[in-house]
A and B are shown apart, each in its own frame.
Chain A
């Protein structure tokens, strides 16, 4: 995270992927404990990663990273279950001692994420899809859409914030 803050894209990617693996285990067990189908798992993972990313300035560099990650993961899991009408206490501490939790396969369908994207304005959706699904760089997407790289980044940022808002509001 420190390296990522200094401007190392690769370090940030590795961190996000590692956290995603850990989150998958946490979300999957949380869902199982609540008696919910595992289909939502990938959705929770993506929503939590997004929250982590957008709110990364709330991590205090003088504090360890893990409790911060765990707090966000717990918050998002509880939030998700509450929206589905599950109100019991959720405790993720038992199985979140380490980030290197066993990697389980990406089972849950991320169908919802695609529906989420569909609710974004056309331009925002195409940029997220271009970068995520087609794996293009911001510059490539800009060339294709006739926008400057800076404009693509601005729109991408708006899209991510809008996406977080969609996650928060529209799911029942």
Chain B
């Protein structure tokens, strides 16, 4: 079969709609998060004082932090899914750092130094360390399957970015259950909980995302 002949098949296939990468990635996150929401509803449930929590700055800062992390991780994941990695996604990390710095600064300023450690350790770090990876599993699987259709410059990095995005989505869900709102706690434990997910994504991605 000559290449010129082969091209005819590709041209005929052109009309086959290719879904933009951004849309398939958000679909994967939504589908995975839906599964995690079911687990959340059955096993965890929202915190009882959710309505009151919205009125506190710590809870709002926590939400802002996880949502900005979700945006940053989405940008990273989309960048890593392509054969040529552009560095624009790094700008999306800036808000995360700014919000984290502001929230940490405010917390350290308003609470006495003696209580820093109690606030850092919190009351349910272990739950946080299990729930976030658990909620991340379904989004991670959906993302990795989606990125099989992409062409990542580095399968390992792309897998890690999938892990980060899945962990960010999981953190958003978990934030509604977690009682520990101190930025000290959120910053420490939420990011620790993301590490195993990122590593898992990198390991699986390395094998699964080759093309």
Contact B3 A42 (CB under 8 A): yes
Number of residues of chain B lying within 8 A (CB) of chain A: 31
Nearest CB of A to B34, in Å: 24
B residues near A45, Cβ cutoff 8 Å: 3
Q: Is the CB of A131 within 8 A of B9?
A: yes
Contact with B along A97-123 (1 / 0, CB 8 A): 000000000100010011001000000
Known contacts being A20-B3, A110-B3, A133-B5, is A53 close to B13, with CB within 8 Å?
A: yes
How distant is the Cα of A50 from the Cα of B3 in the complex, in angstroms? 10
User: A134-149 toward B: CB 8 Å interface, digit per residue (1/0)?
Assistant: 0101100000000000
Contacts of A9 in B (CB 8 A): 11, 14
Are A12 and B211 within 8 A (Cβ)? no
Is A17 in contact with B7, judged by CB distance below 8 angstroms?
yes
Residues of B near A17 (CB, < 8 A) are 4, 7
- Chain B residues with CB under 8 Å of chain A are 1-16, 18-21, 81-84, 86, 149-151, 153, 210-211
> What is the chain A residue whose CB lies nearest that of B153?
A71
Chain B residues within an 8 Å CB radius of A63: 84, 86
- The 5 A-B pairs with the shortest beta carbon distances in the complex, nearest first, are A71-B83, A57-B18, A55-B151, A132-B5, A53-B10
Q: Which residues of B contact A132 (CB under 8 A)?
A: 1, 5-6, 8-9
